[in-house]
Structure 1
Amino acid sequence: MIRPLSRTALILDIIGAALLFLLLTPTSVVFYGPTTGGTVIQGTSVGAVVVAGILMFGGVAIGRLAPGLALGAAWAGALVQMLAGFGPLPIDLAILLVLYATAAWGTQRVLWLGFASTLVGGLIAAAYMVLVSGVAFGSGSGWDQLTGGVLLLIVSVLALGFAWVCGLLWRVVLRSRRTRSAQLQAESVAAEEQERVRIARDMHDIVAHSLAVVIAQADGARYVAATKPEMATEALGTIAQTARGALSDVRMLLTQLRHRQGDGPQPTLADLEALFAQVRQAGVEPLVTVDPMPPGEPPGAIQLAVYRILQEALTNAIRHGDGTVHVHLSWLPDRVDIEVRNTVVGDAPAAGGGHGLIGMRERAQLVGGSLQAERRGAQFVVSGSLPIAASADLGLGQ
C-alpha cells in the first residue's frame, strides 16, 4: 500500500494538493453553490463541498505515496459530493489526478482498480447527472434523454480514461528507464569483470614466467656455487633482473586495477628477443624459426597475443621440458600460425587444465583465433592460429 518516496517529493505533493484545494474549493462554492434554500441548507452544502475537497485533494497529496488509499479517498469525496446534490465541480480535477497516480505508480492490482474506476465512475456520473441533477436534452422525451445519457457516459469515460491512460504511459516510461538503468549496470559489471579477468590473466603470465626463470636460475646457482662462484653470481644477477621486471609489471597491473586507468605499455614483437634471452638464462634453449616474416606491422592485439602465448608456452617448457624448445611462427597475409613443442620430462600439464593453458586459449579467442595444447607422445605441443585481418577490422590493435 505504501511506496518508498523521498521526503522532498512527499512535501511537494502535499503543497501542490493544498494549493489546488485552496484555489478550487472556493471556486466550487461560489459558482456552483445552491442559490435557493435556507441558511442551514447553504451551510450544509458548503460543508459538503469542503469535506469532498479535503478527501479528494488528500488523495492527490498521497497519490505517489499510496495510490490505493488515494483512490479510496477520491471515491469517498465523490460520494460526499453526490450526496450533497452537486453535479460536476472544479474540485473534481482531483479525481483525474488520482486516476493518473493509480496508473503511473500503483501496483498491478491498483492499476486495474483505477481502470475499473474510470468505467464505473463514468457510468455513475452520467446516470447521476441525468437522473438526479435533472440534466435535460432536446424536448426532454425519453429518447432524447437516453441519447443524452449515452453521450454523457461517453464523455465521462473519455475524461476519466484520458487521465488513466496518461498515467499508464508514464508508467511505461518509468519502467523503460529502470530497464535501461539495469542494462547499463549489468554492462558495467560485465565490463569490470572482463577487466579483472584480463588483469588476472596478465598477472599469471608475468608472475608464472618470472618465477619459472627465478627457480631455474636459483637451482642452477645452488649446484654451481661451490665449484663456479662466478656462474652463481651471474645467476643471482639474472634473478634480480627478472624479479625487478616482474615487479614493475605487477605494479602497473595493480595500478590499473585500483584506479581504473587505461592499459599501460604492452609487450610487442620487439620484446620477444628479451623473452627468449630470459628463457636461455633459465637453461632452456629456444630454437626459433620465423617463416615467412611478418608482412608489415601486425595489429597490436595480435602482437600482444603472440607474446603472451609464447611466454606461457616457454614457461611450461622451462618447468617440464628437457632443455630445448622449438618455436615456429608463420606470418601469413591473413593469419599467424604458432607452434611451440618440447620434449616432456616428468608429468606435463593436462591438455584441458591449468590457468596457463586456459589463459593461452583465452588470448587466442580474444582476437578471433583458436589454440590447442596437448601431449603428443613424448612431446607437448602448443599450436594456434590468429587471424590478422579480423583483428584489424574489429579495432583490436589498440
Structure 2
Amino acid sequence: MIRSVPRTWLVLDIVGSVLGLLITLPLSFAMYAGAVSAWLQPDWLSLGAMAIVATGMWGAAAIARLSPLLALVVAWAAAIVQMACGLSPSLFDFAVFVVLFATSAWGGRRLLWWGAGSAVGGGLVAGAYIALQQIGSLTGQGVPSAAAHASVTAALAATSIGFALVIAWGAGLLWRVIAHGRQTREAQLQAEAAAAEEAERVRIARDMHDIVAHSLAVVIAQADGARYAAKAQPELAEEAMATIAQTARAALSDVRMLLTQLRHRQGDGPQPGLADLDSLFAHVRQAGVEPRVTIDPMPPGEPPAGIQLAVYRILQEALTNALRHGEGDVDVRLAWLPDRVDVRVRNRIAAEKAGPGGGHGLVGMRERAQLVGGALTAGAEGTWFTVHAVLPIGASVAQP
C-alpha cells in the first residue's frame, strides 16, 4: 500500500503537484468563465467544485510514487465528483496521466493491470460523459439530430482521451522495464563481484598452501635429520641447518612476492616456471628424497606462462606430499606432447601414514589443472600413490 520512497523524490513530487495545481486551476477557471460568459457573475458553486476536484487530482499525483493504489482511488473519486457536478474536462485532469504512469511504473502486478483497465475504461467513460453533455447542450439549442452529433463527438473523445491515457500507462510500463533491467544488471554485477572475491580467496589459499607447505616440509625433514646427526656427524647437521636457512629465505621471498601480488594484481610479480624446477628438485634432494626425473619428449618451444606455473605448482605439491606421507624416492615424469603436457608423480606410501587423501593440497592441485583447462587425478594404487595431470597447450606453444 505504501512504498518506501526517498525523501528527496517525495518532496519533488509534492512540489511538482502543487505547481501543477497552481498553474492548471486558474487556467481552468478562466476557461470555464469564458465558456459560460459568467466571469462578472461567476457560479461560485461550480468554481468551488472545480477547486475540490483539481485538489483531489493533483493530490493523487503527489502521492502517486508513494502509494500508486491510493493515488488511483483518489483520482477516480475526484473524477466521479467532477462528473456528478457536471464539470467539463479541464486542464487539471492532466494529473490523471501522472497517476496512470505511477500504476504501471511502481505498482504491483495486479495494480499494473488495474491501471491498464483504468486507462481504457477512463477513455470510454470520458467519451460517454462528453456525449451526454453534448446531447444536453444541443437539445437546449434546438439543434436537430443532436444524438448523431453527440455520438460522433463521443467516439472522437473516447478515442483521443483513451489513447492519451494508454500512452501515459505505457510510458510507466517502459520505465518499469528499464528499472527492472537496471536492477538485474546490478544484481549480476554484484554476483560477479562476489564470485571474483571468492575466486581470489581460493587463489590466495592455494598459493599460500603451495608456498608454505612445501617449504615447511623441507624444513621439518632437514630439522629431523640435523637433530639425529648433531652428535654423530656434526658436518651433516651443519649442512642440514644451511639447507633450512636457504629454504626459509626462499619461502620468505615467495611470501613477499605473493603479498606484492595481493596488493596489485596476480600477474604483476614474477611467477615460477620450468626454469625453477631444478631448484625445486634440489630442495627435495636436500630433504633426503631423490626425485627420479624423466622428461620425454622435451618441450617443443616456450610453453605458456600459465602452463609453466601449473606444472611447477602441481609438482611442488606432489613432491611435498611425497616428503610428508611417502617413503623412498619419487618418480617424476613429464611428457611435452604437441597438444598437451602429461605430468605424473609416483611414490611409495609409508605404511604408518597410509589413509585416504583429502587435504587442501589435492584440492589445490585439481584447481591448478582446471584453471588451465586440464584435469588431475590422484589416488593410491596398492602401496603406491600416483598424481596424474593432463594440461592442454595446443597451438599456444611457440615453435622454434
1-side partners of 2:210 and 2:196: how far apart?
21
Cα distance in 1 for residues equivalent to 2:144 and 2:259: 89
In the alignment, is the contact (CA less than 8 A) between 1:298 and 1:388 conserved in 2?
yes
Give yes or no for the alignment of 1:28 onto 2:28: yes
With normalisation by structure 2, the TM-score equals 0.91
Give the percent of matched residue pairs that are identical in Structure 1 and Structure 2. Answer: 58
Which residue number corresponds to residue 245 of structure 1?
250
Which residue of 301, 323, 326 corresponds with 1:318?
323
Q: Tell me the amino acid that sits aligned with residue 377 of structure 2.
A: Q
Partner of 1:59: 60
How far residue 177 of structure 1 moved from its aligned partner, in angstroms, is 0.7
Q: In structure 1, what is the equivalent of residue 12 of structure 2?
A: 12
Q: Does 1:224 align with 2:229?
A: yes
Aligned to 2:279: 274
What's 2:118 paired with?
A: 117
Letter in 2 for 1:274: S
SS in 2 for 1:226: helix
Deviation at 1:23, TM superposition (A): 1.0
CA contact (8 A) 1:338 1:385 kept: yes
**Residue 127 of structure 2: aligned partner:** 126
- Tell me which residue corresponds to 2:341: 336
AA aligned opposite 2:356: A
2: CA distance, partners of 1:108 / 1:306: 56
> What code does the residue aligned with 2:84 have?
L
Deviation readout 1:243-283 (Å, 9 max, x if unpaired)? 233233334435555x4634332111111111111111111
How large is the RMSD of aligned CA atoms in angstroms?
A: 2.4
Q: Is 1:2 matched up with 2:7? A: no
Contact in 1 for aligned 2:130/2:153 (Cα 8 Å): no
What residue in structure 2 maps to residue 163 of structure 1?
Answer: 168
Distance 1:181 1:59 in 2: 32
Kindly state the Cα deviation for residue 299 of structure 1 after the two structures are TM-superposed.
0.3
Q: Note if 1:357 corresponds to 2:358.
A: no
* Alpha-carbon separation, structure 1, partners of 2:94 and 2:154: 22
Aligned equivalents of 1:86, 1:154: Cα separation in 2: 20
Structure 2 CA distance for aligned equivalents of residues 142 and 303 of structure 1: 91
Q: Which amino acid aligns with 2:387?
A: V
Residue type of the alignment partner of 2:9: A
Report how far residue 150 of structure 1 moved: 3.2
Return the alpha-carbon distance in structure 2 between the equivalents of residues 191 and 122 of structure 1.
53
Structure 1 pair 377–272 and aligned structure 2 pair: CA distance change class (3 A): same
3-state SS in 2 of match to 1:350: coil
Q: Is the 8 A contact 2:132 2:150 kept in 1?
A: no
Instruction: Give the Å deviation of 1:154.
Output: 2.4
Shift of 1:322: 2.1
Distance 1:141 1:291, change over 3 A: same
In structure 2, the partner of 1:93 is 94
- CA distance, structure 1, for counterparts of residue 75 and residue 26 of structure 2: 19
CA contact (8 A) 1:322 1:342 kept: yes
Among 209, 214, 221, which residue is 2:214 paired with?
A: 209
Change (3 A) 1:385 1:38: closer
State the shift of 1:153 in Å: 2.3
One-letter code aligned to 2:19: L
Q: Is the 8 A contact 1:130 1:136 kept in 2?
A: no
Is 2:300–2:397's contact at 8 Å kept on the other side of the alignment?
no
Cα distance in 2 for partners of 1:390, 1:254 equals 33
1:301–1:391 CA contact under 8 A, matched in 2? no
Write the deviation string for residues 66-95 of structure 1: whole angstroms up to 9, x where unpaired. Answer: 111211222222223223322110111100
Return the alpha-carbon distance in structure 1 between the equivalents of residues 220 and 81 of structure 2. 91
Paired residues, number: 391
Q: Do the aligned residues in 1 keep the contact of 2:303 with 2:396 (CA within 8 Å)?
A: no
Deviation at residue 293 of structure 1 after TM alignment: 1.2
Q: Secondary structure at the match of 1:177?
A: helix
Give the Cα separation in 1 of the matches to 2:252 and 2:59: 68
**1:333, distance to aligned residue in structure 2 (A):** 1.6
Work out the CA distance in 1 between the residues paired with 2:198 and 2:67: 40
Taking the aligned partners of 2:8 and 2:82, their CA distance within structure 1 comes to 32
* 8 Å Cα contact 1:364/1:386 also seen in 2: yes
Distance 1:390 1:82 in 2: 80
After superposition, give the CA deviation of every residue in 1:353-383 in whole Å (9 maximum; x if it has no partner).
2221121122112111122212222221112
| Structure 1 counterpart of 2:83, one-letter code | M
User: TM-score normalised to the size of structure 1?
Assistant: 0.91
Report the alpha carbon displacement of residue 329 of structure 1 after superposing the two structures with TM: 0.8
Counterpart for residue 182 of structure 1: 187
Gaps of 5+ in 2: none
1:287 and 2:288 aligned? no
Corresponding residue for residue 396 of structure 1: none
Q: SS of the counterpart of 2:231?
A: coil
Instruction: Please give the alpha-carbon distance, in whole angstroms, between the structure 1 residues aligned to 2:190 and 2:108.
Output: 25
- Contact 1:348 1:380 (8 Å CA) reproduced: no
Contact 1:127 1:149 in 2 (8 A): yes
On the 8 A contact 1:266/1:304 being kept in 2, the answer is yes
Any idea what the Cα deviations from partners look like across 1:171-219, whole Å, max 9, x if unmatched?
A: 0111011111111111111111111111111111112111111110111
- Opposite residue 63 of structure 1, the aligned amino acid is A
Question: What amino acid is the match of 2:265?
Answer: Q
- For residues 207 and 172 of structure 1, the distance between their equivalents in structure 2, rounded to whole angstroms, comes to 52
Structure 1 gaps, min length 5: 394-398
